[in-house]
Structure 1
Amino acid sequence: MMFKPEQWLFAFKLYIAIMLAFTISAHVGLPQTSWAIVTCCVVMNPMSGAVRSKAVYRLVGTLCGGMVSLVLASLFSNTPVLMIVFVGLVGAIAFGCSLLDRTPRSYGFQLFGLTLMLVAVPNIENPAAMFNTTTFRLCEIGLGIICCTVVDSIIAPRSLRPSVQFKLQGWLADMEKWIDDAFEGHITDNKATHDRLKVLADISALSALAGQLRYDPLVTRRERQLIFSIQLRLLRLVPLLSAISARIADAEPDIRSKLTASLKKAAAHAKKREPAGEVLLTQITQTAHNMDSMSDWRHLVQEDMAELIKVTLHTWSEIRQFEHSLNKALPLPSILEKEVRSARSSTLYPDTYIATKIFLGSLLAYSLLCGLWYATGWQLAPASILVGVAALAFFGGSDEAGRVISFFGIFTIIALFAASILSYGLLPFAKDYPMLLIVMAIFILPLGAWATKNPMAILLLALAFSCINFQNIYQPYEFGTFLEIFLAILFGIFVAFCCLGLVRTTMGAKHTMERLIRQGREEVLSLTYHATLRDRDDFLNRSLDKIGSLASRLEQTGHIDNSPRLLNRLRAGASIAELRHASAQLNEETRRALEDLFITIRQEINHEEPSDTLLAKIDKTLSTAWKHDLRSA
């Protein structure tokens, strides 16, 4: 296997951090050197921002988990059973919360739950030892974090900025092509629409990097806020362009031919990065009024399209100004500067369904393993408990969680074989410090380089160092003890796999896709009963987030032909919210027509295509609104 220079560079940085942490830990006499080494394995990353963000969340999660374990020990030191119950309950809640937060902060919740169980469960009958365990763990983890941060800061720190800017350029090019297609009336096929949804998914995924960008030492606060300002406006363009495309595509040929000149001017404005002028908007609207054959609701559609084009060109102009300011470090107009200062990444909405399943699965696995521990007195049960709940917390939320946990089990077997080679084959040759450096380099460098291609290699390293008695004076476990640790870990993973099957009876991309689509329909249904403009904006944001999540799953399940339907539902939901919000200001006749329309929508919410009855009621409602000159409705 050939590795590139940058991969060897990462492996070298990881090796230096591990050996520095080991040397300091052994020199000052800390009792669990492996904790510092494992911290280096987990925290080190090719990107400096990722190193710092993970370091912060690991330290905070460890500190909070240790403190809560001490609080529980003070409350239940005389009642071990209650202590076990509350540790499991609080830990499972933490693991569930980690699935509610889709940013790097989730790692803090995971470390909180793991630290709580690591400190409390093994010391359940000796609560006095929990303080020392917490203190030493904080020292070891803090040491590993410091070593990683120092090494990354000195040896070739890498910023996310070039990567993000490269992606931004690609997104802007894709969006510019979409604007051209929309204004020219091109009807895209399902594949092209799906490709655009994948771009949308990529734009939404930028929010997951918000934490890393915040801690990236080479990205300034203003640069970060400019990036998020561009992201938010790119997402706003999606429903606008989808609506413009639909209105042009649905127009009769004679209407489209009359609008051609105006739309070409709009496309020219977009290329020049200029907002729409009143002359252009008046021209589009006037085209509708000059055509006597056009129906009332067609007049409404044309007026609405003029407003959509105005907002689209204004938003696109702002995006280009942000891009220019980001690339050239130039100031913006005062109004935009004010918006940039308050910019945040787009919201990644929690998946409460998966979070609940992981909470239940973690609690079930913890309960079963604790019950086995109580029944048999198995000394290595705490290790089995820790690995079992960790498998669910880290891998149980994916679409193919059962397959991922199985893969984790396979990698664990590989890791334990690697640990046996290190423990019984390599480390016995390390009679002095220089030889130790050579032995560790032989073991760490290839795996570190491999980790840049396969993140599971980091897990392999972390598990290998966790399973050997790696201290100042190396004393390998008896081989029987090592095998028992090996079996305890595998048994914990097996129990996690079984518990996952009990709480998540159906898994896979298809199931997730169907669930998200069903949730979207339920949200549209709720908008027919009550909606404000804030509800409309929340619906749009949630829907864009869902579309981003659905894009890859549509391809996996072979349903890319459903891509246009997702954008149609997005527009429909936003329109329903606006109509419901405006209904209170309507006259009695129009309000009755609108309520009748809402009733039909509720009845057909699960239909793939609108019925003739629904279309007729839409026409009736529009005609009623037009008759009373309620064009804003």
Structure 2
Amino acid sequence: MLGTILSLRPKGADWLFSAKTFTASILALYIALAFDLDRPVWAMATVYIVAHPLSGVLASKAVYRVLGTILGAVAAVIFVPNLVNAPVLLSLVLAIWVGGCLFLSRLDRTPRSYLFMLAGYSAAIVGFPCVADPGSVFATGIARFQEISLGIICATLVSHIVFPRHIGPVIAARIDGWMGDITKLAEQSFDPETDANVLHNDRARIAADLGELHGLALHLGYEKSGFAGRTRQLQALQSVIAALLPVFYAIHDRLLALKAQQGELPVDVENILAGISAHIAAPDHDRARITALHAEIDAFAARVAGAKDWAGLLQVNLANRLHRLIDFHDDCRTLWEGIRAGTVPEDVLGRWQEGAKASALHRDYSAAFRSGLTAVIATAIVCGFWIASGWPSGATAAMMAAVGASIMSFLDNPVPALKGFIRYTALSVAVVLIYSLVILPGIDGFALLVMAFAPYFILLGVLMATPQTYGFGLAMLVNVVMILNIDTAYSSDVATLLGGGIASLAGFGVAAIVTAFVRVVPVDNFIRGMVQANWRDIAGIARGTFNMPRMVMIRRLLDRQGLILPRLAMAASHRETLIRVMPEVSIAASLYDLRRIRLFVEPHISSRIDVLLRNIARHFEARLDDFNRAPDPKLLAEVDNILRLVNDMTDGAQRQKLLIPLVALRRTLSKTDAPKLDRTAEIAANPALLSPRMGEIA
């Protein structure tokens, strides 16, 4: 950590953030001392806990912290007086409350998750110190609410009044960057010679960024930037960008197959691709150019509509995907221009809102359960030792166990962070002793106190502005504030200070040990879990039990890809796993379309599609137990059989609707060969091949 700190080069914005946060904390401390609140340091510490360089993020975090504190205090007021005569039961109830709230927090991937987490450990913070005096729990709950609310109000006012930094421009810069990425991705996807690794990485990186935008956009309602109130529109834009990724994948895949079949791309295909590239790269949004491109694709599609060979079917599918690309990109630009202008067409917004819902994000119930269980066990262990030993500082240790099991739960492996927090807490005790024994005895008045605090707090506050050193800065500030326990009169009780510090270390230590045994999941297992979650959804789509809109389905699969990407550096062996996520998105979309279209086609084709869907469902269900299971060759054979039947259909409209998902499915099942669509010679030699039937397979 020391090397990281020494290598930092703080910017002016970092120093401004630190100075603003220190000003807000001192204001909160002054007001708390003036009104003789129970523990003024809670107000000061709260400022640092909710501090964030972006005013909108701070405000939303503050609102949810207040609500969580209220809910936690209410729970403590209910539990403690009624169960104080049964300490074991009270400890168990509070531990289960902390764990249950943390479970809900881990399932909610929005800023609202902070509310549930705070409701959990706030009950521990209010409840455990009042076990010896249950009559004081209501007063303690009110005091904590007052002190935390005061800190939040001071932090919010200073952040919004003194050189506010809004989240809107940050989001705007991010989206402008995405528009450039889409232009680059189009050029890469239109070239069959593009390096596959580059394409995989670029698509996956955009998918990973989409999840971050979802969270950032939710903060817009808490600030007054130019994008305030545009959360719904920005999330719709996010859905469009997500929809573009599988379309780019499909186009590149069809071009690869077409070149493999014919040796080179048809001239009219190259001309269309050049026109679309120029359109996407153009700075203006020209509707006439969009109309002309659609007309050019229609003319191309009409020329290949009656084709019966595999290259012709690939071009039919390609034409459909190019139409879709232009429409999606049109909506993307329309939404972004409308958001900046303040007027988004309702029809465009309506098309994409469904995919922006929280249901489109992956929820890891297993990780949430383990996080909750960790909090229950850690809190219960400390409480058990406290009850058995009569430890005077047991309440502090129990509180810190609950807090330690909660605050780092968003990490895959919280143990290193908890170990760091333990080290920083020990270092904080040393800083507290210096302040308590050397500096504070000479302080006479609040102005001198501010001067004594300023160098340390402003310097450490700068570290909170950088993700790499945020944990160190926060721990060194909040622990010093809480252990020092500044009040209206100076007192230097070294035994109490050390007792509180040791109890904090013990609480965090137990949380770290329990986390290591219960919570930590190897990154390999996490990636496997994400992939298997995709397989369960694909099986559900094939069986018809996945009852969600198409765009929600695509967004959820891509969201998991975004979750896998940042972890690949720790599990390079799973690179191939990420590469096949995008083809699985194509499989899911094809199955979704086939289930819908089969209702309107001839019975003999519909029945075959039903059998195919059931067999694909069985295949993905079997892979949950056999991770590397290869597809049954009969699956590919049946897709080819259905393709031949569809290829001979006389109803052109139905034929084309079926060919689109079937060609895509055929390409994802096998990229190394082409289906035999004309088997006249084979059938003449063996009439049994005329109408092969496929049975149920595993």
TM-score (norm 2): 0.84
Aligned counterparts, 1:289-328, within 5 A: 289=305, 294-295=309-310, 299-327=312-340
Measure, in 2, the Cα distance between the counterparts of 1:383 and 1:203: 40
Structure 2, unaligned stretches of length 5 or more? Answer: 1-5, 659-698
The count of aligned residue pairs is: 627
For the residue of structure 1 that corresponds to 2:252, the secondary structure is helix
1:557 corresponds, among 571, 578, 603, to: 571
Structure 1, unaligned stretches of length 5 or more? Answer: none
Contact 2:107 2:368 in 1 (8 A): yes
Measure, in 2, the Cα distance between the counterparts of 1:44 and 1:428: 30
Contact 2:236 2:349 in 1 (8 A): no
Most deviating of 481-490 and 611-620: 611-620
Taking a change above 3 Å as real, the CA distance of residues 254 and 485 of structure 1, as seen in their structure-2 partners, is: same
In the TM superposition, what is the alpha-carbon distance from 1:231 to its structure 2 partner? 1.7
For the residue of structure 1 that corresponds to 2:580, the secondary structure is helix
In the TM superposition, what is the alpha-carbon distance from 1:593 to its structure 2 partner? 2.6
Contact 1:65 1:115 in 2 (8 A): yes
Question: Is 1:576–2:598 an aligned residue pair?
Answer: no
Measure, in 2, the Cα distance between the counterparts of 1:340 and 1:620: 36
Contact 2:413 2:521 in 1 (8 A): yes
Aligned counterparts, 1:5-20, within 5 A: 5-20=12-27
In the TM superposition, what is the alpha-carbon distance from 1:513 to its structure 2 partner? 1.2
What is residue 244 of structure 2 aligned with on the other side?
Answer: 237
For the residue of structure 2 that corresponds to 1:455, the secondary structure is helix
Taking a change above 3 Å as real, the CA distance of residues 566 and 532 of structure 1, as seen in their structure-2 partners, is: closer
Contact 1:392 1:500 in 2 (8 A): yes
2:37 corresponds, among 30, 33, 38, to: 30
Question: Is 1:534–2:548 an aligned residue pair?
Answer: yes
For the residue of structure 2 that corresponds to 1:121, the secondary structure is helix
Taking a change above 3 Å as real, the CA distance of residues 373 and 623 of structure 1, as seen in their structure-2 partners, is: same
Question: Is 1:257–2:280 an aligned residue pair?
Answer: no
Taking a change above 3 Å as real, the CA distance of residues 367 and 551 of structure 1, as seen in their structure-2 partners, is: same
What is residue 490 of structure 2 aligned with on the other side?
Answer: 474
Aligned identity (percent) is 24
What is residue 21 of structure 1 aligned with on the other side?
Answer: 28
Measure, in 1, the Cα distance between the counterparts of 2:184 and 2:96: 51
Measure, in 1, the Cα distance between the counterparts of 2:227 and 2:194: 41
What is residue 130 of structure 1 aligned with on the other side?
Answer: 137
Q: 1:340-376 CA distances to partner (integer Å, 9 max, x unpaired)?
A: 9999576433221110001111111121111111111
Most deviating of 304-313 and 350-359: 304-313
Most deviating of 332-341 and 376-385: 332-341
In the TM superposition, what is the alpha-carbon distance from 1:158 to its structure 2 partner? 0.7
Taking a change above 3 Å as real, the CA distance of residues 337 and 547 of structure 1, as seen in their structure-2 partners, is: closer
Measure, in 1, the Cα distance between the counterparts of 2:349 and 2:378: 51
Amino acid at match of 2:502: L
For the residue of structure 1 that corresponds to 2:266, the secondary structure is helix
In the TM superposition, what is the alpha-carbon distance from 1:131 to its structure 2 partner? 0.6
Measure, in 2, the Cα distance between the counterparts of 1:396 and 1:155: 33
Contact 2:539 2:617 in 1 (8 A): yes
Measure, in 1, the Cα distance between the counterparts of 2:443 and 2:607: 86
Amino acid at match of 2:62: A
Taking a change above 3 Å as real, the CA distance of residues 582 and 476 of structure 1, as seen in their structure-2 partners, is: farther
Measure, in 2, the Cα distance between the counterparts of 1:508 and 1:416: 33
Aligned counterparts, 1:594-609, within 5 A: 594-602=609-617, 604-605=619-620, 606=623, 607=628
Taking a change above 3 Å as real, the CA distance of residues 486 and 533 of structure 1, as seen in their structure-2 partners, is: closer
Question: Is 1:72–2:79 an aligned residue pair?
Answer: yes
Taking a change above 3 Å as real, the CA distance of residues 595 and 154 of structure 1, as seen in their structure-2 partners, is: closer
Measure, in 2, the Cα distance between the counterparts of 1:391 and 1:473: 30
Question: Is 1:464–2:480 an aligned residue pair?
Answer: yes
1:383 corresponds, among 388, 396, 401, to: 396
In the TM superposition, what is the alpha-carbon distance from 1:79 to its structure 2 partner? 4.3
In the TM superposition, what is the alpha-carbon distance from 1:460 to its structure 2 partner? 1.8
Higher RCO (Cα < 8 Å, 6 or more apart): 1
Measure, in 1, the Cα distance between the counterparts of 2:244 and 2:176: 16
Question: Is 1:266–2:280 an aligned residue pair?
Answer: no
For the residue of structure 2 that corresponds to 1:266, the secondary structure is helix
In the TM superposition, what is the alpha-carbon distance from 1:255 to its structure 2 partner? 7.2
Taking a change above 3 Å as real, the CA distance of residues 603 and 319 of structure 1, as seen in their structure-2 partners, is: closer
Question: Is 1:543–2:565 an aligned residue pair?
Answer: no
In the TM superposition, what is the alpha-carbon distance from 1:222 to its structure 2 partner? 5.0
Amino acid at match of 2:266: S
Contact 1:59 1:142 in 2 (8 A): yes
Question: Is 1:613–2:634 an aligned residue pair?
Answer: yes
In the TM superposition, what is the alpha-carbon distance from 1:135 to its structure 2 partner? 0.8
Q: 1:236-290 CA distances to partner (integer Å, 9 max, x unpaired)?
A: 1111111121122112226732522333333344345443555223223134246
Question: Is 1:180–2:201 an aligned residue pair?
Answer: no
1:496 corresponds, among 492, 497, 511, to: 511
Amino acid at match of 1:468: L
Contact 2:62 2:152 in 1 (8 A): yes
1:198 corresponds, among 189, 198, 205, to: 205
Question: Is 1:409–2:422 an aligned residue pair?
Answer: yes
Contact 1:583 1:591 in 2 (8 A): yes
1:213 corresponds, among 174, 198, 220, to: 220
For the residue of structure 2 that corresponds to 1:350, the secondary structure is coil
In the TM superposition, what is the alpha-carbon distance from 1:621 to its structure 2 partner? 2.0
Measure, in 2, the Cα distance between the counterparts of 1:370 and 1:168: 49
Measure, in 2, the Cα distance between the counterparts of 1:244 and 1:434: 67
For the residue of structure 2 that corresponds to 1:104, the secondary structure is coil
2:534 corresponds, among 520, 539, 558, to: 520
What is residue 142 of structure 1 aligned with on the other side?
Answer: 149
Taking a change above 3 Å as real, the CA distance of residues 191 and 410 of structure 1, as seen in their structure-2 partners, is: farther
For the residue of structure 2 that corresponds to 1:467, the secondary structure is helix
Measure, in 2, the Cα distance between the counterparts of 1:442 and 1:333: 52
In the TM superposition, what is the alpha-carbon distance from 1:494 to its structure 2 partner? 1.8
Measure, in 1, the Cα distance between the counterparts of 2:135 and 2:349: 55
Most deviating of 418-427 and 236-245: 418-427
Question: Is 1:455–2:470 an aligned residue pair?
Answer: yes
Taking a change above 3 Å as real, the CA distance of residues 279 and 531 of structure 1, as seen in their structure-2 partners, is: farther
Measure, in 2, the Cα distance between the counterparts of 1:588 and 1:342: 32
Q: 1:125-148 CA distances to partner (integer Å, 9 max, x unpaired)?
A: 432211100111111111111211
What is residue 347 of structure 2 aligned with on the other side?
Answer: 335
Q: 1:583-611 CA distances to partner (integer Å, 9 max, x unpaired)?
A: 44444432343244335434543347655
Measure, in 1, the Cα distance between the counterparts of 2:453 and 2:278: 62
1:107 corresponds, among 108, 114, 117, to: 114
Measure, in 2, the Cα distance between the counterparts of 1:543 and 1:12: 43
Measure, in 2, the Cα distance between the counterparts of 1:591 and 1:343: 29
Taking a change above 3 Å as real, the CA distance of residues 561 and 440 of structure 1, as seen in their structure-2 partners, is: same
Measure, in 1, the Cα distance between the counterparts of 2:109 and 2:14: 28
2:645 corresponds, among 606, 624, 633, to: 624
